[in-house]
Amino acid sequence: MLKDVLAPVQSAEDIFPAYRATSIELLLEYNNLSRPFDTYSSAQLLIGMCMDHRKHLRIPDNFAYIIRAGGANLRYSEFKVSYAIAIGGVKAIALIGHNNCGMVNLIARKQQFIDKLVINAGWTHEQAEEHFTSFAPMFEIGNEIDFVKSEAVRLRHRYPKILVCPMLYRVEDNLLYLIHER
């Protein structure tokens, strides 16, 4: 099933035609194909990706604005997205989800979340539970791939002149995979 949805990028020919000759192609070449770094004085694109500590992109300095948010959910970072477009002049957004994301099925981690806020942050049980109950629905993403695809659609509607590319980062191999959007 995943191989029908994910497209590995093992050569330049694997990059979808819509992304060729764009900063998305450069991102894929830098990260997956070990393209030698070019020098940049301004960002070429915006990367929206999860805050997860297991992800590290291979990109040159000054190549991209990067917004890290749980699940690559940019809904609550829209002003920052607008800034990168308006002031930074970026013409593309790489929206990168990853497998094994902690924002999937948050409800299964509710008790751990509450318990650890009590222990690690010094909160009362009631404070921690209220916090989880108030915010978990905003940040739950469901399935990583489906969320990234839907977020790409949302961003395309919001910013119709901006190229938006949904991708998945596999933590096992540190590579980016294009997502088929059928």
Q: Which two tokens stand for residue 120?
A: 């690690």
Q: 79 with 159, same domain? A: yes
* Alpha-carbon gap, residue 178 to 105, rounded angstroms: 23
Would you state the pLDDT for residue 1? 45
What is the phi/psi pair of residue 161, to 5°?
-95, 0
Q: For residue range 62-80, what is the model confidence (pLDDT) as tens digits?
A: 999 999 998 899 999 999 9
Which CATH number is 92's domain given?
3.40.1050.10
Number of independent structural domains in the chain: 2
Q: Which residues of 104-129 are buried (b: 16+ CB within 10 A; e: fewer)?
A: bebeeeeeebbeebbeeeebeeeebb
Largest Cα–Cα distance in the chain?
A: 55
Task: Return the closest-CA partner of residue 178 out of 7, 35, 11.
Answer: 7
Mean pLDDT of the chain: 94
Query: In the 8-state DSSP scheme, what is residue 180?
Result: -
- Does residue 175 carry a pLDDT above 80? yes
Question: pTM of the full predicted structure?
Answer: 0.91
Q: How confident is the model at residue 3 (pLDDT cuts 50, 70, 90)?
A: low
Q: 119 with 61, same domain? A: no
Domain hosting residue 131, numbered range = 105-140
Q: What percentage of the chain exceeds 70 in pLDDT?
A: 98
* Alpha-carbon gap, residue 63 to 24, rounded angstroms: 11
